[in-house]
Amino acid sequence: MNAPVLNAPRTVRLNAADNVVVAVDPVDVGAVAEGVTARARVPRGHKMATLPIPEGSPILKFGQIIGFAAKDIAPGDWVHEHNVGMHDFERDYRFAEDARVEEVLPVELQATFQGFRRANGKVGTRNYIGILTSVNCSASVARFMALEIERSGILEQYPNIDGVIPLVHGGGCALDVKGEGYDILKRTQWGYATNPNMAGVVMVGLGCEGFQIGRWKDAYGIKESDTFRTMTIQEIGGTKKTVQAGVEAIKTMLPIADAARRETVPASEILLALQCGGSDGYSGITANPALGAAVDLLVKHGGAAILSETPEIYGAEHLLTRRAATREIGEKLVDMIHWWEDYTARNKMEMNNNPSPGNKLGGLTTILEKSLGAAAKGGTKTLAGVYHYAEQVDAKGFVYMDTPGYDPVAATGQVAGGSNVLCFTTGRGSAYGCKPTPSIKLATNSEIYRRMLDDMDINCGDILDGVSIEEKGQEIFDTVLRIASGERSKSEQLGYGDAEFVPWTVGATM
Amino acid sequence: MNAPVLNAPRTVRLNAADNVVVAVDPVDVGAVAEGVTARARVPRGHKMATLPIPEGSPILKFGQIIGFAAKDIAPGDWVHEHNVGMHDFERDYRFAEDARVEEVLPVELQATFQGFRRANGKVGTRNYIGILTSVNCSASVARFMALEIERSGILEQYPNIDGVIPLVHGGGCALDVKGEGYDILKRTQWGYATNPNMAGVVMVGLGCEGFQIGRWKDAYGIKESDTFRTMTIQEIGGTKKTVQAGVEAIKTMLPIADAARRETVPASEILLALQCGGSDGYSGITANPALGAAVDLLVKHGGAAILSETPEIYGAEHLLTRRAATREIGEKLVDMIHWWEDYTARNKMEMNNNPSPGNKLGGLTTILEKSLGAAAKGGTKTLAGVYHYAEQVDAKGFVYMDTPGYDPVAATGQVAGGSNVLCFTTGRGSAYGCKPTPSIKLATNSEIYRRMLDDMDINCGDILDGVSIEEKGQEIFDTVLRIASGERSKSEQLGYGDAEFVPWTVGATM
Ligand SMILES: [Ca+2]
Ligand SMILES: [Ca+2]
Ligand SMILES: [Ca+2]
Ligand SMILES: [Ca+2]
Ligand SMILES: [Ca+2]
């Protein structure tokens, strides 16, 4: 008996270049959305064409190709399996064919933030002292050191220091010291030791572990200094003496670390880690594309952002290879895809990101579209670099790092890569936080934002109510700069980050 | 120009049944050791025959067969590669052929300790409240709960409670929920939840993780109760509210947990976990066989002990199958060996416990002898059961649990199996400690004992100076009972155990 609501269906345009919009509410025949009159019913979450798409032309969502018109599509048409095809696009990498020289603002026009310029030129957004551990066997000693510093009250004398963080983990021994697992841990430790958010580092080991501190120091030419000290429990002679030695080393570092001062630096010094966890049906239409818009802004301002989570972009790597700046960069990504196929097969699992029947009912037409929902947080810029897990990121612009999808493991790799800020989208609600890198949490819907207000920094749910992706992208970009300048994110206020250092464990534990 | 020292070379007899002794000092020709005159020079760490061993007869060390005489061996002969062979013994499992009905003292003659008898009949040696985490995403919330309880000072009102322990880890998501990795975590969580050293448990999850608390509860028929509560951050709505809910749940448990009282119980209620880490050349001739003697005593008193660390007993499984109580028990062990061969191969590693040239120079003749140096801590009794990682141990006597050799991972499996005391031998020095199960550390040599006096509970190095394996075994057994009764081990005094919960991660991290 209710009058049909024809005029108010909400839709979202995910990128200005798109020829489709996504229906937030079901769009009935005859309803008008974005000035286009629907020619067919478009269910919630599905796509409606807003431009004519001739047969064979690409369907663009997230500013990316998600498939090709199988027949001529008119504005107002529902766009789904019945009129979208893939032909052999999937298996065709076309390295670098969409590479562009991206516009970067001159430094005097770049946005700025207040950061800690380090001796090596990198810029920190926080000022921590880290206690690294070579192996789980020294984890408690690292924590005892941090606890003793905390209990001593000495940090009150050093207001410019954000804290002393024990970075403990479950690995470091009984691994193949000539294998991938060792290399990953080696890079991760080095990345945390050199992250610009660290003002000083003590590394403590047991002594007999597979991950030998001496070998690690040799690999990177690391020298002991006033702000970098290593020690082992076996060498020093037990828990108490080692804690004492570590505390003394930290106390020597405190005044040095505290002398650091924030100064005005350009946004190009931001290396932003991109994460999503606890995704929902809104992730791909609100928070992820909004974060992508922020990334596009950041790249324009000279900064860099790291997309990751290989199992979640699987099937869309062909689009990333097209965006690769060079064939070499694209090929590195394809090699990673092949590595993952082997890794999962060896472990009796499989890479499969095809849309399920439920996904299709929800409006996802192709594997590209599904994976691009996760990849949307990377924006649309040329892929300037591809990195292995925990490799040092040295490019500016949009880059990719190979990681699992699992949040703490993925983020650990990105922080090791040098990230000084992290943005994390979540639909079902994540409580993730990180040290030494501040984590900003973006809710994909207003309900989870309200339910977890203590944990969420930004609500992207209002995109469903008409806030544009571009506006939200600007809000995220501005928030990144504020957090980078020292404003504390929600997870920092709550004290997160002491339990979330989780290096990727690859290989057998012997 | 020094006079040769012919009369004082120290030797160790590792088991009364042995037909060899081990030289602690080099034994020169003509020197007398254990009343036997050396017929050849026996280097340090090598073996001298003390009985005639006819060609084809077994060489017995640790009370076990380590090889066969390749020619007639006389008392005083050096026993090594030149006169020891293996024939095809290695590949011949001979299930249960050495099984015996082991002597167990009647309960009124068993030693006793003071333990907490739980409602299910099991006996705890400690009285903890545990905060389990289904996934790393709830790790910080678990720690915030414990911190808030600690800071509140409320534990002072409950002197019978040993503490509130957050058991955080790096896994719980992005795993194959139908695979081995999931099953291992499932058993580990269940084992910690039901370990008799736990008086109450709160389990906290995020909500969307692969390790679903609801599924886990269904698997074991777990019901919520005054001493068992579960919750998720997504359901409750964020960090602060979940911490609050957890703290309230714990506060409800505190008076119930505090009401537990120690009572006199027989030694048969001990389930002893056996560990070694940071082994050295003395491990196999001091601490390990002494711990084995303590295990033999414990089994006689009706208790149980768990040998583990499959990569370290590899190559000696043929002796364990002979000691198996039944063919079925032996076959379960052999299946595990095959699983490990596949697991390591899939991960591009290999199982290889053959003596290296360095091992041989040090006196280890065969793979059996090498692996038995690790297995010696299991004693000589009939193998009463074989368990998968973190499986509930329900047999009395000497049992085996499949674990990696890596200390925290191995011990986590044993504690999940129900261990209420743990003995850990170390030569190079380990700082390991555990909650909720007290860990007793045994030094293999006097130097490390003295250097790490704050960490070491028992010095087994004095075996080199004439203390017998049997005497040391009695000392260990007595110490186990004292620690079980509430005396705090060194690692407990230092506060270890909050960072050493490391469930075995098997499979790919997606
Ligand atoms: Ca994701
Ligand atoms: Ca993720
Ligand atoms: Ca993530
Ligand atoms: Ca061992
Ligand atoms: Ca071990």
Domain assignment present for residue A469? The answer is yes
Tokens of A102: 């991206």
pLDDT at site B7: 55
Residue pLDDT, tens place only, B136-189: 999 999 999 999 999 999 999 999 999 999 999 999 999 999 999 999 999 999
Task: Assess whether A394 and A278 both reside in one domain.
Answer: yes
Domain assignment present for residue A93? The answer is no
Hey, of B347, B351, B457, which one would you mutate to test binding to chain A, going by the most A CBs within 10 A of its CB? B347
pLDDT at site A3: 45
A7 pLDDT band, cuts 50/70/90, is low
Residue pLDDT, tens place only, B34-83: 999 999 999 999 999 999 999 999 999 999 999 999 999 999 999 999 99
Task: Assess whether B308 and B437 both reside in one domain.
Answer: yes
Q: Which of B31, B59, B85 is the last residue of a domain?
A: B85
Tokens of A4: 């049909």
The CA-based dihedral angle spanning residues A406, B174, B501, B276, taken in that order and rounded to the nearest 10 degrees: -110
Residue of A nearest to B280 (CA): A208
Say whether pLDDT at A89 is over 90: no
The bound ligand whose nearest atom lies closest to the alpha carbon of B406 is 5
CB contact under 8 A, A347 and B346: yes
Task: Assess whether B356 and B446 both reside in one domain.
Answer: yes
CB contact under 8 A, B139 and A497: no
The CA-based dihedral angle spanning residues B316, B322, B325, B326, taken in that order and rounded to the nearest 10 degrees: 110
Q: Which of B232, B259, B286 is the last residue of a domain?
A: B259
List the one residue out of A93, A300, A389, A260 whose CA is nearest residue B509. Answer: A389
Residue A436 · residue A419 · CB < 8 Å: no
Domain assignment present for residue B108? The answer is no
Pick from A136, A179, A509: which is nearest to B404 by CB? Answer: A509
Hey, of B406, B451, B490, B501, which one would you mutate to test binding to chain A, going by the most A CBs within 10 A of its CB? B406
- Residue A509's alpha-carbon distances to A137, A172, B129, in angstroms, are 15, 10, 29
Give the mean model confidence (pLDDT) for residues B97-117: 96
Tokens of A489: 């994110």
- Residue A260's alpha-carbon distances to A118, A325, B247, in angstroms, are 8, 37, 39
Strand partners for B114? B264
Q: Is the peptide bond before B436 cis (omega within 30 degrees of 0)?
A: yes
Q: Which 3 state secondary structure label does DSSP give A243? A: helix
Say whether pLDDT at B6 is over 80: no
Say whether pLDDT at B90 is over 80: no
A6 pLDDT band, cuts 50/70/90, is very low
CB contact under 8 A, A455 and B239: yes
pLDDT at site A5: 46
Residue with tokens 């020597």: A252
For residue B210, report the distance from its CA to the centre of ligand 5, in Å. Answer: 29
Give the mean model confidence (pLDDT) for residues A414-432: 97
Nearest-neighbour CA in chain A from B288: distance (Å): 18
Element (H, E) at B368: helix B367-375
Pick from B137, B349, B500: which is nearest to A407 by CB? Answer: B137
Residue B25 · residue B10 · CB < 8 Å: yes
Pick from A136, A207, A349: which is nearest to B502 by CB? Answer: A136
Q: DSSP assignment of A96-132, as one string?
A: TTT--------GGGS-EEEEEE-TTS-EESS-EEEEE
Distance CA B51, CA B44 (A): 20
List the one residue out of B470, B465, B433, B420 whose CA is nearest residue B447. Answer: B465
Q: Provide the ipTM.
A: 0.95
pLDDT at site B168: 98
Residue A70 · residue A77 · CB < 8 Å: no
Domain assignment present for residue B231? The answer is yes
List the one residue out of A281, A277, A282, A334 whose CA is nearest residue A309. Answer: A277
Domain assignment present for residue A158? The answer is yes
pLDDT at site A1: 43
* DSSP classification of residue B87: G
- Residue A192's alpha-carbon distances to A189, A247, A254, A261, B136, in angstroms, are 5, 19, 18, 21, 19
Give the range among A233-242, A244-253, A374-383, B91-100 with minimum mean pLDDT: B91-100
Distance CA B338, CA B251 (A): 47
Task: Assess whether B143 and B56 both reside in one domain.
Answer: no
Pick from B343, B498, B499: which is nearest to A508 by CB? Answer: B343
For residue A279, report the distance from its CA to the centre of ligand 1, in Å. Answer: 6
Distance CA B446, CA B463 (A): 9
- Residue B244's alpha-carbon distances to B65, B205, B414, in angstroms, are 59, 14, 32
Tokens of B238: 């964020």
Residue B468 · residue A473 · CB < 8 Å: no
For residue A373, report the distance from its CA to the centre of ligand 2, in Å. Answer: 13
Distance CA B251, CA B192 (A): 20
Q: Which 3 state secondary structure label does DSSP give B462? A: helix
Pick from B140, B277, B452: which is nearest to A496 by CB? Answer: B140
Residue A445 · residue A286 · CB < 8 Å: yes
Q: Which of B27, B53, B85 is the last residue of a domain?
A: B85
Q: What are phi and psi of B431, to 5 degrees?
A: -110, 20
User: Which residues in chain B are contacts of A455 at CB distance < 8 A?
Assistant: 238-239
User: Which residues in chain B are contacts of A492 at CB distance < 8 A?
Assistant: none
Give the mean model confidence (pLDDT) for residues A376-401: 98
Tokens of A445: 């819907």
Distance CA A446, CA A464 (A): 9
| CATH code of the domain containing B42 | 2.30.130.110
User: Which residues in chain A are contacts of B240 at CB distance < 8 A?
Assistant: 454, 494
Could you count the other beta carbons within 10 Å of the beta carbon of residue B242? 29
| Close Cβ partners of A426 (under 8 Å, ≥ 6 residues apart) | A276, A277, A278, A279, A283, A287, A432, A441, A442, A443, A444, A448, A456
For residue A178, report the distance from its CA to the centre of ligand 4, in Å. Answer: 21
B92 pLDDT band, cuts 50/70/90, is confident
User: Which residues in chain B are contacts of A429 at CB distance < 8 A?
Assistant: 206-208, 233-234, 237-238
pLDDT at site B89: 75
User: Which residues in chain A are contacts of B170 at CB distance < 8 A?
Assistant: 169-170, 408-409, 502, 505
Q: DSSP assignment of B19-60, as one string?
A: SEEEESS-B-TT-EETTEE-SS-B-TT-EEESS-B-TTPEEE
CB contact under 8 A, A349 and B409: no
Distance CA A173, CA B368 (A): 24
**Do strands A163-167 and B198-205 pair parallel, antiparallel, or not at all (unpaired)?**
unpaired
CB contact under 8 A, B349 and A508: yes
Give the mean model confidence (pLDDT) for residues A61-80: 96
| Close Cβ partners of A182 (under 8 Å, ≥ 6 residues apart) | A175, A176, A210, A211
Residue pLDDT, tens place only, B307-320: 999 999 998 899 99
Distance CA B182, CA B190 (A): 12
Distance CA B423, CA B128 (A): 20
Give the mean model confidence (pLDDT) for residues A184-209: 98
B476 pLDDT band, cuts 50/70/90, is very high
Strand partners for A277? none
Element (H, E) at A459: strand A458-459
| Close Cβ partners of B453 (under 8 Å, ≥ 6 residues apart) | A238
* Mean pLDDT, rounded, of chain A: 95
CB contact under 8 A, A137 and B208: no
Residue B321 · residue B333 · CB < 8 Å: yes
Sign of CA dihedral A255, A256, A257, A259: positive
Task: Assess whether B387 and B420 both reside in one domain.
Answer: yes
Task: Assess whether A452 and A411 both reside in one domain.
Answer: yes
Residue pLDDT, tens place only, B412-465: 999 999 999 999 999 999 999 999 999 999 999 999 999 999 999 999 999 999
Higher pLDDT, B192 or A34: B192
CB contact under 8 A, B409 and A174: yes
Task: Assess whether B230 and B352 both reside in one domain.
Answer: no
Q: Which 3 state secondary structure label does DSSP give B264? A: strand
User: Which residues in chain B are contacts of A457 at CB distance < 8 A?
Assistant: none
pLDDT at site A92: 83
Question: How many residues can be counted in chain B?
Answer: 510
Distance CA B249, CA B148 (A): 13
CB contact under 8 A, A451 and B238: yes
Pick from A137, A452, A499: which is nearest to B430 by CB? Answer: A137
Number of Cβ pairs closer than 8 Å across A and B? 213
CB contact under 8 A, B510 and A240: no
* DSSP classification of residue A57: P
| CA Rg value for chain A | 24
Domain assignment present for residue B411? The answer is yes
Distance CA B174, CA B206 (A): 13
B87 pLDDT band, cuts 50/70/90, is confident
Say whether pLDDT at B279 is over 60: yes
pLDDT at site B86: 85
Task: Assess whether A411 and A295 both reside in one domain.
Answer: yes
Pick from A207, A406, A432: which is nearest to B174 by CB? Answer: A406
Residue pLDDT, tens place only, A104-148: 999 999 999 999 999 999 999 999 999 999 999 999 999 999 999
List the one residue out of B120, B453, B464, B67 whose CA is nearest residue B283. Answer: B464
CB contact under 8 A, B429 and A206: yes
Nearest-neighbour CA in chain A from B419: distance (Å): 20
Distance CA B189, CA B501 (A): 11
- Residue B177's alpha-carbon distances to A349, A494, B212, in angstroms, are 10, 31, 9
Task: Assess whether A15 and A128 both reside in one domain.
Answer: no
Tokens of B98: 């050495």
| CATH code of the domain containing A183 | 3.40.50
The residue range of the domain holding B390 is 268-488
The bound ligand whose nearest atom lies closest to the alpha carbon of B432 is 5
Residue A172 · residue A185 · CB < 8 Å: yes
pLDDT at site A48: 98
CB contact under 8 A, A500 and B139: yes
Distance CA B303, CA A34 (A): 77
CB contact under 8 A, A406 and B348: no
Q: Which amino acid is at A283?
A: S
Half-sphere exposure of A232 (CA within 13 A, CB side): 17
Q: Which 3 state secondary structure label does DSSP give B438? A: coil
pLDDT at site A215: 97
Domain assignment present for residue A95? The answer is no
A352 pLDDT band, cuts 50/70/90, is confident
Distance CA B361, CA B355 (A): 10
Distance CA A53, CA A19 (A): 8
What percentage of chain A exceeds 70 in pLDDT? 98
How open is the CA angle A439-A440-A442, to the nearest 5 degrees?
140
Task: Assess whether A303 and A251 both reside in one domain.
Answer: no
Residue of A nearest to B348 (CA): A507
Task: Assess whether B328 and B225 both reside in one domain.
Answer: no
Hey, of A137, A209, A424, which one would you mutate to test binding to chain B, going by the most B CBs within 10 A of its CB? A137
Residue of A nearest to B433 (CA): A140
Q: Which amino acid is at B315?
A: G
The CA-based dihedral angle spanning residues B57, B62, B64, B67, taken in that order and rounded to the nearest 10 degrees: -50
Task: Assess whether B434 and B346 both reside in one domain.
Answer: yes
Domain assignment present for residue A37? The answer is yes
Q: Number of folded domains in chain A?
A: 3
